[in-house]
C-alpha cells in the first residue's frame, strides 16, 4: 500500500473528498518552491502533484509552460526535483507525492535507475503525460513492480471501448481530464463532468479525481461534489508567477482546499 492508497482510504473512511495541488518543482527557484511544497499539507492539501520541468510540455498551457521555463532557467533538473521531494520527506512522511511530467527526462536517466531513486526520494506515484497504455512496457509496468503507483489520465475522448485498456494498469487513482485541451484552458463544468466520472467509476474501484479548468474554490467544490476530488494547478502556479509571498500562495491554496472539502 502506497501513501496514496492510504490517503484515499482515510478520506473515504471520513467521507471526505480529496484536494490535489500541483506545483512545478523549482519554480521560481529551488528554495521558494520547497517552501511552498512544505506548506501544502498545512493548507489541507491531500495529495501533492510535483511538476517535473521539461522544455517541451506539449499538453500544457502557457502558465505551466512558463513555470517549467522559470524552473529550468533556475537550474532545476530531475535530480534536483527528487532532492526537493527528499527534503520534503524529512518533515512529512504521510502526504503522498505524485511526480507529473513527460517521459524524456526519465528515459534519459534510465527507467530502472529513475524508479530506484524516485522511490528512495519518497515519490509515491507517477503521471507521465506522453505514455498512453500502448506504451505500458516503457515505465508503467516497471513502476508498479517497483512499488510506485502509475496514475493514468482518462479524457473525454476515451470512449467505452477504450476505457478498460486505460484502467487496466492504473493504480492509486484515475485522473479524469475534464476538457479536451491543455492545462489552464477551458473551464470545467460539473454538469458535463458528473456523467463522465460516473461512467469511469462503473468500471473501476479506484478513486476518480478531476483536473484541468478548475481555478476557484467554487469550481473545486462543484467538481469535487461529482467526483472523488479535484486538482488545481495553473491557478496556483499563476500566484507563484505573480511573485506572491509563499504565505499568500498558501492562503490561496487553503481557500481551494476548503472549497473541495466542502463538497
Partner 1 sequence: MADDLFNSFMNGPDEQGRFGIFGGRFVSETLMPLILRLEDEYNKAKDDPEFWAEMNDLWTHYVGRPSPLYHAERLSEELGGAKIYMKRDELNHTGAHKVNNVLGQILLARRMGKTRIIAETGAGQHGVATATVCAKFGLKCIVYMGAHDVKRQAPNVFRMRLLGAEVIAVQSGRGTLKDAMNDALRDWVTNVHDTFYCIGTAAGPHPYPAMVRDFQSIIGKEVRTQLAEQEGEGRLPDTVIAAIGGGSNAIGLFHPFLDDKSVRIIGVEAGGKGVDDRIEHCASLTGGRPGVLHGNRTYLLQDGDGQIMDGYSISAGLDYPGIGPEHSWLHEIGRAEYVSITDKEALDAFQVSCRTEGIIPALEPSHALAHVMKIAPDLPKDHIIVMNMCGRGDKDVFTVAKHLGFDMSDTEEGRSFEE
Residues tagged active-site: 49, 60
When binding is defined by CB under 8 A, the residue of 77, 189, 203, 225 that contacts partner 1 is 77
The residues that bridge with 232 in the sheet, in sequence order, are: 21
Q: Which is nearer to partner 1, 156 or 194 (CB)?
A: 156
Q: Which is nearer to partner 1, 76 or 249 (CB)?
A: 76
Other beta carbons within 10 angstroms of residue 162's beta carbon come to 14
Separation between Cα atoms, residue 193 and residue 198, nearest integer Å = 9
Q: Which is nearer to partner 1, 231 or 260 (CB)?
A: 231
162 binds partner 1 (CB under 8 A): yes
When binding is defined by CB under 8 A, the residue of 154, 206, 232, 253 that contacts partner 1 is 154
147 binds partner 1 (CB under 8 A): no
Least distance (Å) between residue 176 CB and partner 1: 10
When binding is defined by CB under 8 A, the residue of 32, 44, 59, 225 that contacts partner 1 is 59
Quick one: cell of 195? 456523467
Question: How many Cα atoms sit within 13 Å of 156 on the Cβ side?
Answer: 13
Please give the residues from 19 up to 58 whose contact with partner 1 meets the rule CB under 8 A.
53-58
Contact pattern from residue 196 through residue 235 relative to partner 1, giving x for each residue in contact according to CB under 8 A and a dash for the rest: ----------------------------------------
Contact pattern from residue 105 through residue 124 relative to partner 1, giving x for each residue in contact according to CB under 8 A and a dash for the rest: xxxxx---------------
In the chain, which residue ranges form alpha helices assigned H by DSSP? 3-13, 30-39, 62-73, 78-89, 103-109, 111-120, 140-145, 163-168, 190-201, 217-225, 234-241, 246-262
Buried/exposed 23-51: b ≥16 CB within 10 Å, e otherwise: bbbbbbebebbbebbbbbbebebbbbbbb
Q: Give the residue among 27, 83, 17, 71 at the shortest CA–CA distance from 47.
A: 17
Least distance (Å) between residue 179 CB and partner 1: 8
User: Cell numbers 490561496 correspond to what residue?
Assistant: 252
- Would you tell me which residues interact with partner 1 (CB under 8 A)? 53-62, 65, 69, 72, 77-79, 102-109, 129-135, 152-159, 162, 166, 177, 180-182, 185-186
Amino acid at each position: 500500500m502506497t501513501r496514496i492508497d492510504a490517503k484515499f482510504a482515510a478520506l473515504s473512511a471520513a467521507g471526505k473528498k480529496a484536494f490535489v495541488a500541483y506545483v512545478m518543482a523549482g519554480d521560481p527557484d529551488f528554495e521558494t518552491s520547497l517552501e511552498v511544497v512544505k506548506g501544502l499539507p498545512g493548507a489541507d492539501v491531500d495529495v501533492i502533484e510535483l511538476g517535473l520541468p521539461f522544455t517541451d510540455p506539449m499538453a500544457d498551457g502557457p502558465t505551466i509552460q512558463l513555470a517549467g521555463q522559470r524552473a529550468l532557467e533556475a537550474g532545476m533538473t530531475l535530480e534536483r526535483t527528487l532532492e526537493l521531494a527528499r527534503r520534503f520527506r524529512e518533515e512529512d512522511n504521510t502526504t503522498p507525492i505524485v511526480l507529473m511530467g513527460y517521459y524524456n527526462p526519465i528515459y534519459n536517466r534510465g527507467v530502472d535507475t529513475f524508479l530506484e531513486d524516485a522511490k528512495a526520494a519518497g515519490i509515491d506515484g507517477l503521471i507521465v503525460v506522453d505514455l498512453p497504455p500502448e506504451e505500458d512496457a516503457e515505465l508503467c509496468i516497471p513502476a508498479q513492480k517497483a512499488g510506485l503507483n502509475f496514475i493514468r489520465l482518462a479524457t473525454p475522448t476515451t470512449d467505452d471501448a477504450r476505457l478498460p485498456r486505460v484502467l487496466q494498469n492504473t493504480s492509486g487513482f484515475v485522473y479524469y481530464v475534464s476538457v479536451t485541451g491543455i492545462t489552464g484552458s477551458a473551464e470545467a463544468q460539473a454538469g458535463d463532468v458528473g456523467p463522465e466520472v460516473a461512467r469511469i467509476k462503473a468500471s473501476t474501484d479506484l478513486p476518480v479525481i478531476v483536473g484541468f479548468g478548475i481555478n476557484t474554490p467554487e469550481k473545486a467544490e462543484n467538481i469535487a461534489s461529482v467526483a472523488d476530488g479535484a486538482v488545481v494547478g495553473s491557478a496556483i502556479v499563476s500566484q507563484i508567477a505573480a511573485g506572491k509571498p509563499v504565505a499568500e500562495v498558501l492562503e490561496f491554496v487553503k481557500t481551494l482546499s476548503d472549497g473541495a472539502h466542502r463538497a
